[in-house]
Structure 1
């Protein structure tokens, strides 16, 4: 990556600095006539440095760290990219001008060390820290402070060998003799060679076990890092891994032109879903709570409805008691009488010893009437409760498929439905109508525009207000998902199939195959009065079966950007 960034960005000028997320910084660097987004991430799970093509939405108000970066690095020239030995520490050297016009030399250091990852700006003249994206005090780390004004100290050096500077290989030969098992040898290599991950150590162990040419095999293995073949590998159990070149024991390898393209492919969906989980934690909690409450309620209502099936039994007992009132005496708790509805077979009936014979009969009739009246009420409540469950299942699906910026609309919808407290309610701008984000745009293979709503508010606006009545509307059949509009009065079958694939992908059935998708003219779609946002009914539909395809989705998205 150091080599890739040097070739692509060195001598480039910083034109823009943004901090879209708490632990991530994006420097827009113009180099060789092009703008490049350099992503520096200190995310505990996804720490990395790369050039990214993924667009990021920036906060309305920049953070203090972003403001300091802008003050010192705006307009600065990237003069060098330096790696600390073979460690996961990269130093970006910049030259710029201060407020007085004097030249300054700065280092922007990216330390990629899991939860200890950090991004630190230092002055090269005195090695003083200007700022760090994560402040680390003496109470957390006694070895070094990462605070403004403190002297920058490199991370503790490991007593391991840099493989790119290694000249003697006797120790490696001895390790191979001591550990003939590849997995055990891989563990030993990790304790000897600097910067080896578990998968790289195993690949190196396999390369060294090929024959007795230890030095040649060792150098040949690490030489591959100088001419990478960025690889995305499937390693079983639906897991994938990224490497600089193909490792042994992998199949279904996908290759990318650059390491940055590889990292975009690997991290885009994972990092985004992580951010959605993090930023949408409150929404996820509200939806889970509502689903649990309504599922419990539905279970209770169905139990009550099942009891109404015994209503006729209470009527029969009441009629039999009325017929044989003369045989009942006050104080009795049970009586056995002939059931003339079943060939006078004996039927045992419970009685209250505190009531008269007539009152006991009336008690059964009242119970019968109550259960008969409950049927209508229970069916209505079951229908309404099932609608609530369907609604929150659709929101749950939308959160899972959302981009961080889509969460704003979902939050607003839950606030409007009084499921979530509106924190803006006491502000003066409360009466100002909130702007809903635009649906996502795609372009089919034949150039037809396709719009996809990413949440209920977008779905409703798209279908009921944006779309022309003559355009085509699509939705997964009986499955929560997005509304999709083909912006054509006469779309080709190819476009319908591609739009259906989008509808299937942006639905709860994303991981399924042969997903049924209905399509019809927008004029056949209606919204019943009083229903939840995004809820519609439709007719005159046709159905197509499609497989959700992430590659197709990405391709149609790329078409829209051209």
Structure 2
């Protein structure tokens, strides 16, 4: 699936502004935090509910929406958050407006300053790709209080975005606001000049404010195929009464829209109850993945380096083990020499004798003329013993190295599947296992242990059976070896790194088993594969060897089922 880089355009901003007004205006700010870089969450107490609002100036995912995501509150607030808390904590949200039809949403707050006077502050969210920003400024004076990204005159000569500077809106592009009175006539003129809808779409994009490629194509398609005087008015009205839709086109690209789709040949589409729910679905996985990559750069580097080191070690050990396969030949030669000592002279450098281990076939044995016949035999016995000891040692080292590789591949998979809030637990595990050594290791580990409060994820099958999923090795061990009952069923992808999954039932139905196996396949390295083998067995048949790595268990008496990972089903079953 390719997620299209469709912008949060001015038309969508128009619809979102209305949705936010309905849900938030009149509410009071009760909490402010910055869970991730360039993203702020305001919790608005409105209609007796706490409503979290995400304001994002992310270069790829800039947007404004009500969010249902579990956004963590970092222990140390940023300077921007401190400024917002100082000026907006407890402030009343009077209005939410859009600047012209541009991608700028302004939150208008009523706030009392330090001396108790009422003042209006505006929090402007500029949704403009890599130039996206969040700016808090005074309405009356236009003085900037703070910005989430400070932009100096060296970076932008047109306007300075720094505390104390005068707030200036982005430069006007000279385009027509489609909601203005002159828009309909100008569009009609374009329509008569450009009867081809793709050419007309480009003209709309060039001359009207707030259109993206997708929205201009949609309007042009309707104008050409539905030549009615009300087509344009109906189209605009859909942004006042949106139909939030996520759809996949024939090129397997995913798009989001606040209106019905006509211009694209759709393979699949989903409707949502609100624009915010639509954006949660569109952005959640991709944005989370990028956040995890950003947070976990150091962890990924450590894991990849350790994996490479252990894979090379395994190759060397395997080569050594292969060389010891001839150990028995040394023993046989020693015994043959011992049997035929009387036929060997000290001056000989080799001898051909009957091999009584192989139907008395002749065997050539190399000798040292510096040693006696008996010493030559002992030399072969010593080489045999050395190789035999090496087989035991190398075999043990190979087992340990394989365990290291399995552990690291499992950690690698956990990072790929993790949410940002899961990363501290994975980091702690790597420190405890000696892969990472912070400057003050003991304090860092202790600090991270205190942070760990996450629990396995909870799902319910379509038949209402509880399913728990461990998201890291610590959770896996706790879930399998302590939380689960002996007659519960345990699921794990066969010979593939992944999460431990528990069905909390001693008699799950076939549907329960199928869905739990699908969850296990989804939370594994084979998430993007098909026909994935998943083992399942009662918990009482699982044991953890002493001294084994976190998350490692052995089991017997399992059954195996093959399933296809299904993100839609997993999200549906999530509690």
Q: Specify the TM-score bucket, using the shorter chain as the normaliser.
A: 0.7 to 0.9
Equivalent residue number for residue 273 of structure 1: 289
Find the residue that maps to 1:274 and give its secondary structure. helix
CA contact (8 A) 2:190 2:203 kept: no
- The CA distance in 1 between the partners of 2:80 and 2:122, in whole Å, is 15
Distance 1:238 1:542, change over 3 A: same
Alignment match of 1:112 (pick from 123, 127, 131): 127
Equivalent residue number for residue 127 of structure 1: 142
Deviates more, 1:119-128 or 1:168-177: 168-177
Equivalent residue number for residue 548 of structure 2: 531
- The CA distance in 2 between the partners of 1:51 and 1:530, in whole Å, is 47
CA contact (8 A) 1:28 1:35 kept: yes
Alignment match of 1:384 (pick from 394, 397, 400): 400
Distance 1:237 1:362, change over 3 A: farther
Equivalent residue number for residue 417 of structure 1: 433
1:32 and 2:50 correspond: no
Deviation by residue 1:401-427 (Cα, 9 ceiling, x = unmatched) = 111111111111110111011454364
Alignment match of 1:284 (pick from 291, 300, 307): 300
Unpaired runs of at least 5, structure 2? 1-15
- The CA distance in 2 between the partners of 1:94 and 1:312, in whole Å, is 86
Alignment match of 1:229 (pick from 239, 243, 249): 243
Once the two structures are TM-superposed, the CA of residue 515 in structure 1 deviates from its matched residue by 3.2
Find the residue that maps to 1:122 and give its secondary structure. strand
Equivalent residue number for residue 515 of structure 2: 498
Deviates more, 1:404-413 or 1:96-105: 96-105
Deviation by residue 1:156-211 (Cα, 9 ceiling, x = unmatched) = 2213332332132365247626xx483x5544543333233233333344334437
Distance 1:181 1:316, change over 3 A: farther
Equivalent residue number for residue 186 of structure 2: 168
Deviates more, 1:339-348 or 1:533-542: 339-348
Find the residue that maps to 2:194 and give its secondary structure. helix
Once the two structures are TM-superposed, the CA of residue 368 in structure 1 deviates from its matched residue by 6.2
Task: Tell me the TM-score normalised to structure 1 length.
Answer: 0.86
Deviates more, 1:44-53 or 1:338-347: 338-347
1:511 and 2:528 correspond: yes
Deviation by residue 1:338-363 (Cα, 9 ceiling, x = unmatched) = 797799999999999x9889899998
Find the residue that maps to 1:163 and give its secondary structure. coil
- The CA distance in 2 between the partners of 1:522 and 1:448, in whole Å, is 16
After TM superposition, list the pairs within 5 Å mapping 1:547-562 onto structure 2: 547-558=564-575
Deviation by residue 1:105-135 (Cα, 9 ceiling, x = unmatched) = 0111000111111111111010111111111
CA contact (8 A) 2:354 2:363 kept: no
Distance 1:382 1:186, change over 3 A: farther
Deviation by residue 1:142-166 (Cα, 9 ceiling, x = unmatched) = 2111111110000122133323321
After TM superposition, list the pairs within 5 Å mapping 1:27-426 onto structure 2: 27-165=42-180, 166=183, 167-169=185-187, 172-173=190-191, 176=194, 180=196, 182=198, 186-210=201-225, 213=227, 217-236=231-250, 238-245=252-259, 246=261, 247-309=263-325, 370-425=386-441
CA contact (8 A) 1:442 1:557 kept: yes
Cα RMSD over matched residues?
3.6
Deviation by residue 1:3-49 (Cα, 9 ceiling, x = unmatched) = 11122222222222222112111112233343321111111111100
Distance 1:264 1:549, change over 3 A: same
Distance 1:151 1:56, change over 3 A: same
CA contact (8 A) 1:516 1:544 kept: yes
- The CA distance in 1 between the partners of 2:112 and 2:325, in whole Å, is 84
Distance 1:181 1:103, change over 3 A: closer
- The CA distance in 1 between the partners of 2:190 and 2:371, in whole Å, is 100
Once the two structures are TM-superposed, the CA of residue 392 in structure 1 deviates from its matched residue by 0.8
Once the two structures are TM-superposed, the CA of residue 444 in structure 1 deviates from its matched residue by 3.6
Find the residue that maps to 2:239 and give its secondary structure. helix
Number of equivalent positions = 548
